[in-house]
Structure 1
Amino acid sequence: MKNSLKTIKENNSNFYKVFMIMIFLGLSIAAFVVGNIYGSMDISIKSILGILKCPNNLDPQWLVIWNVRIPRTIVGILVGINLSISGAILQGVMRNPLADPGIIGISSGAGLTGIIILILFPQYQYLVPPVAFLGAMIAAIMVYILAWKNGIQPMRVVLAGVAVSAVLGAGISALMVFFSERVHGAIMFMNGGLSAKSWPQVYMILPYTIVGIILAFLMAERLNILVLGDDAARGLGINVEFVRFELVVIAAMLAASAVSVVGLLSFVGLVIPHTVRLILGSNYKYLIPGSAFLGAAIVVFCDTLGRTIFAPIEIPVGIIMALLGAPFFLYLLRRQR
């Protein structure tokens, strides 16, 4: 009888989690639709469907929808997925709800190397994703080394990440000062924006998103074990340091690919996974898809808000996310004390 009740409770719990993931998926679809409707030129759903059914290269609305809004919203979705999954992985690896690619320095590492390419070697922009990944990995290793002392402690990770971010941020600022005549192309990169993003950026980030999602799902069970603690994980036959390194590589790849396309977009990897964890719990089989869908929805909704609230002036999505994420970060930091 007890076993039957337990099974029923587990089934109800799993149904609830799947239902909420479907809600997050619905929000991401709604964000995609809203992002294509609203902007400097509002276009109805009926008109959008008509444009897609009967393409006309001479129609201004077709040009706006196909060359601007659809690829821009797709980039926003992919960036939200990448940063959210990256943050969820890092929070599990570090066992710290305050960890995210921006706060612990991974985004700054990717940003510095990306800025170096954009400012010093603009002719090699196609190298930004792999170089940003290298910078992200170096930053992650620096944080890991600085935070290690008889194991990983959550607060040491945050403090080490803040220190590494400050140093790397100083490097970015120095480059912008010394090469001020070339800084125009880096301004949007610094603030995290989706302006002027089109199909080339979709093709740039999409492979990293696909590979990252697959690897994250394959590692979900090991991540669940790792969250239990190093001793428990070793007792279950997990090579803790090797698995942790694998997960950091996946998180760095996802974060670096997002940063290489939109720049330094903070707080997505912090706010989204923690919100999803409060709703769905800490099982990464549900946390990863939940974070991906909700992250996609939030980034696209924030970008649409930034495009429309003061139209025709556009506010980068990074500023909107910072306004939402900073209070949430302070709330989490207060809870940790």
Structure 2
Amino acid sequence: MKDKRQNRLVLAALAVLTLGAMALSLCVGSQGVALPRLLAALRAGDPADPVRRIVLYVRLPRMAAGLCCGAAMAVAGALLQAVLNNAMASPNVIGVNAGAGFFALLAGVLLPQRAVPGAAFAGALVTALLIYLLALRAGLARTTLVLAGLAVSGILTAGVNTMRLLFPEGVTGADGFLIGGLSGVSLTAVGSALPYLAAGLVLALFLAPELNILALGEQTAASLGLPVGRTRLASILAAALLAGAAVSFAGLISFVGLLVPHIARRLVGVDHRVLLPACALLGAIFLLVCDTAARTLFAPYELPVGILLNVIGGVFFLYLLLGRKRGRVYD
């Protein structure tokens, strides 16, 4: 257990780094803008100022999307790893992202655009519960969860591809959605997902003490009076709220929920009352920095951040798959 004072310092440092990542996202791009010039343009309020227009209509929505998506995916990953007792659990690995993406595209074809966040949450929840029930029936092991997630993801991906063939006009922009990225995200889209994000984060923080007890083992937790089934269901609900909301505006962003919780545990330990806020801050920092790198490394061309995350996350997943020096992670 990490020292409380040390954890407070780490959280404060992460908060400062989050502000730095936000400023970086606003200032850096194909055309760099110094922070004083950016602040001066916003204060002046001249609607014809090109710097003000770029910041308000391009970079600010993108920064807000990266901030919310990174925090949501990281906390969702930490919840799933805790409730499933699996170091490799994350929204994309066990198929939750695929479920959210399928339902979001389906809603985009059949329903008004404002229904997309709710549909993405429903898809994430249904998929998470389905995979959990499949794994529970077959034996709740690490291999079972991952394989069940891969199987369900394959089925849902087939459904997405079918929609792309049958309703090409209804799923315009599906390629970017499936890769995952923040380009073209509007503040309206982020705002529509905010109620789901806020509800998921509040529920996750409320569940933190119960997750600490659950970490002692199912039998021990039950003997201490913890309603294990209710805690697991509520945790899956919170993860689905977060992942579904993030997918609704950022697409199938991958591996943030896998990588960030592992780094956060090294920084603040395993107490979920501290771990979940640390994951939220670190996830926001990680995604904002990755998005800034993705749109500047190959300028004037822009690389979707989902591609960069797949490379980073794929390497990290292999590291987990092969195990660590002090025991295996995957069995």
State if a TM-score over 0.5 links the two structures.
yes
- Residue 306 of structure 2 aligns with which residue? 318
Range that drifts further, 194-203 or 244-253: 194-203
Contact 1:193 1:263 in 2 (8 A): yes
CA distance in 2 between partners of 1:41 and 1:55 (Å): 20
**Matching residue of 1:197:** 185
Q: TM-score, normalised by structure 2?
A: 0.94
Query: Where does residue 61 of structure 2 map in the other structure?
Result: 71
Q: Which 5+ residue runs of structure 2 have no aligned equivalent?
A: 324-328
Cα distance, 1:45 vs. partner? 0.5
| Partner SS state of residue 3, structure 2 | helix
Q: What one-letter code is carried by the residue in structure 2 that aligns with 1:317?
A: V
**2:125–2:240: 8 Å Cα contact kept in structure 1?**
yes
User: How far is the alpha carbon of 1:23 from its aligned partner?
Assistant: 2.1
State the shift of 1:182 in Å: 4.7
* Cα displacement (A) at 1:224: 0.9
Match of 1:13 in 2: 3
- The separation in 1 between residues aligned to 2:313 and 2:285, in whole angstroms, is 15
Residue 112 of structure 1 is matched in structure 2 by 102
Runs of at least 5 residues in structure 1 that lack an aligned partner in the other structure: 1-9
Work out the CA distance in 2 between the residues paired with 1:82 and 1:249.
13
Structure 1 contact 81–209 (Cα < 8 Å) conserved: no
Corresponding residue for residue 51 of structure 1: 41
How far off its partner does 1:204 sit? 1.6
TM-score normalized with structure 1 length? 0.92
Mapped pair 1:83 → 2:91: no
Moved more, 17-26 or 180-189: 180-189
Question: Are the aligned partners of 1:78 and 1:205 in contact in 2 as well (CA < 8 Å)?
Answer: no
Is 1:135 aligned with 2:123? yes
1:1-337 pair list within 5 angstroms: 13-118=3-108, 120-121=109-110, 124-149=112-137, 152-335=140-323, 336-337=329-330
Counterpart Cα distance in 1 of 2:197 and 2:11: 19
Q: Deviations over 1:36-78 (max 9, x none)?
A: 1111221111111101222111111110011211121011100
Separation in 2, partners of 1:183, 1:212? 27
Number of aligned residues: 325
Deviation at 1:150, TM superposition (A): 8.0
Q: Distance in 2 between matches of 1:326 and 1:27?
A: 25
- Rate the CA distance shift 1:124–1:304 in 2: closer, same or farther, 3 A: same
1:6 paired residue number: none
AA of the residue aligned to 1:300: L
SS in 2 for 1:300: helix
Structure 2 residue identity aligned to 1:171: G
Q: Do 2:101 and 2:248's aligned partners in 1 also have CA atoms closer than 8 Å?
A: yes
Partner amino acid, structure 2, of 1:302: C
> What is the CA–CA distance in structure 1 between the aligned matches of 2:189 and 2:11, rounded to whole Å?
27
Percent identity, please.
38
